[in-house]
Amino acid sequence: MGMTMTQKILAAHAGLEHVVAGQLIEAKLDVVMANDITGPMAVPVFNQMADKVFDKEKVVLVPDHFTPNKDIKSAENSKSIREFAKKQGLTHYYEVGQMGIEHAILPEKGITVAGECIIGADSHTCTYGALGAFSTGVGTTDIATGMATGELWFKVPSAIKFVLTGTPSRYVSGKDIIIHIIGRIGVDGALYKSMEFTGDGIRSLTMDDRFTMANMAIEAGAKNGIFIVDERAKAYMKEHSEKSYTIYEADDDAAYDEVVEVDLAKVRPTVAFPHLPGNAKTIDEIEAMEPIRIDQVVIGSCTNGRMEDMRRAAAVLDGRKVHPDVRVMIIPATQKIYKQCIREGLVDIFIDAGCAFNTPSCGPCMGGHMGVLAAGEKCVSTTNRNFVGRMGHVDSLIYLASPEVAAASAIAGYIANPEKAGDR
């Protein structure tokens, strides 16, 4: 029996010719990453294991969740990884002013490429599968082990094959597609499985679309998400990285638990209602309801804070005003994206529309800062989770959407169709 993309990567990193689903292996690691929440918990465990990290080029620390620091505790956490990075001489440590949201800055800096085995102490580490890498989130003890030894054990996952066909319509992006998929299979539909994206439809997806989709694989319970490596992915890696990479393709006889076909032309702008990313409703279903009035919009995060997301939001907001009852936070994912927004005049569009344009940070995504919700408030957010209390008070409500739906909703004051934004 053949192997899937993920299984081939894991076999290569375990030094094995073949692996099967359910097999326990010890694999060598190419990147080990932690942030300002998980890193401070991993460091004391690491100190019990080793004096030096296994490779200062391959251990990456990014303070992004509570930075700029919102209180004394977050300041102490950032201080601990800052001192650790300096002591260990880490090549990849990004301080405030240079840093970005971890899952955006690592590909941008060329740290992650195809064929690698990557772990991160953050559940959305699966983002790097957009480049054809195996990447997955792990706990802090595993991160400490990875930093010390450069190896970690894995149970080889089985896989679901997603065959994408067709071309998405103008107002449909990766966020709509992945919410549509999670809505179909459920939030546990890919539990500890690899979501492997294939098909001719991938050629119509930008890299930012793919990063968004791989990022939210965990929201279906997946171990990882991974895309085939095509010319667009190769071009991205050539532009951003000097590292060599390896392309792994699934065997023709690879075993899949399920094959799911998705016609991208039929996907509509889609919103995940509270309190699960799989509670998907199309914009057509929403328009048939009573208007859902909102209090806040957040456009940013590791899911939708990239340059294309900024452009999509700006195209809807250009020349329009945010509804007086809505506050809008726009948070570019990295400093490079921040500067590009300035160069392209997007910052003027956002501010003139009535938005707050903020420094790169995870900020409001997990109720950290820069947009925490009060009781009873409703937020349309381009983030990845809408669990109870995720962005603040347990009685607040979060609706996950694309940048265009979020921007259209900001103007309307309720969840709105971006296709009709020009009608207002």
Going by the annotation, the residues of the binding site for [4Fe-4S] cluster are 302, 362, 365
**What phi-psi label fits residue 315: left (phi over 0), alpha (psi between -120 and 50 degrees) or beta?**
alpha
- Torsion sign, CA atoms 300, 362, 136, 222: negative
The CA distance from 16 to 19, in Å, is 7
C-alpha Rg value of the chain to the nearest Å? 21
Please state the separation of Cα 207 from the chain's center in Å.
12
The CA distance from 370 to 361, in Å, is 9
The CA distance from 144 to 156, in Å, is 21
User: Nearest 5 degrees, angle CA 12-CA 15-CA 19?
Assistant: 65
Strand, helix or coil for residue 61: strand
HSE, side-chain direction, 13 A CA sphere, residue 362: 25
Binding-site residues from annotation: 302, 362, 365
DSSP state of 246: -
Identify the residue whose tokens are 């997806």.
205
The CA distance from 141 to 130, in Å, is 26
Residue from 355, 409, 400, 360 nearest 381 by CA: 400
The two structure tokens encoding residue 353: 């529309």
| DSSP codes joined into one string, 14-43 | HT-S---TT-EEEEE-SEEEEETTTHHHHH
- Contact indicator for 59, 53 with CB cutoff of 8 Å: yes
